[in-house]
Amino acid sequence: MLETLREKTVLLTGAGGGIGRATAIRLHKEGVRLALCGRNPEKLEQTARLVGGGTLLLPGDLLEMEYLDQCVQKTVEAFGGIDVLINNAGIAQSSPFSEITPEEFDRVLATNLRAPFFLTQKALPYLKASRGAVINIGSVVSHKGYPLQSAYAASKHGILGFSKSLANELYEEGVRVHVLSPGGVYTDMVRVARPDLAPDGMIQPEDIAEWIAFLLKSRCNAVVDEVQLHRVNKAPFA
């Protein structure tokens, strides 16, 4: 059964570029109300201009618990609730295991796992009220292990395990939890981490945005636990 997304409220992290920006543009076409989170105010403003206005901009640092509270509170104040939470923000890591410092490990895990975990927790009362949905952006690295990515793999395996557990916990309350696990998506993060890769044949951010729209619009008795997206297996970062 296809649902309309018109006037649904979507709280989206990592909205300053890449998958987040493409998702904001795509969902705006469905008539949603968008609360956009991101570290860089200028990039958030660029996304808002591309979307076409009517969005709430929430610049800040996801590593700060106070900011997570503000994201939820300001979204509810502006739009009356939260129907969808999309945990998209993430950072990459590429370094030998023996060289990873505690500070680097903490930063990767805090950004990729701790922030979505606790942002979901804070948004949960509103998601329960709306019988809404959580979409977590994982990675092929949620399932596989690549050299030089031990901390990144730990964080993305963690987001998958967290999502599976939460999906089962919230199923009876009507809150859906989905994971998208893309292979190489040609974003700024990939361009920096893997400058040797060309965009030809890689997944584009717009492809992920289409899957997100599909998951949100297609509510039925069949439960989609996880979607893995692969075009090529040459770019482990997502």
Instruction: Identify the sign of the CA torsion 4, 123, 111, 172.
Output: negative
Do 237 and 189 meet the contact criterion of CB atoms below 8 Å apart? yes
Q: Indicate which residue of 67, 126, 146, 152 is catalytic.
A: 152
Distance in angstroms between the alpha carbons of the first and the last residue of the chain: 30
The CA distance from 66 to 114, in Å, is 14
152 is catalytic: yes
Do 136 and 157 meet the contact criterion of CB atoms below 8 Å apart? no
Do 81 and 61 meet the contact criterion of CB atoms below 8 Å apart? no
Angle between helices 115-130 and 65-79 (to 10 degrees): 20
Instruction: Identify the sign of the CA torsion 106, 112, 115, 121.
Output: negative
Q: What are the tokens at 45?
A: 């403003």
Q: Residue 228 burial (CB < 10 Å; 0-12/13-18/19+)?
A: middle
Residues marked as catalytic: 152
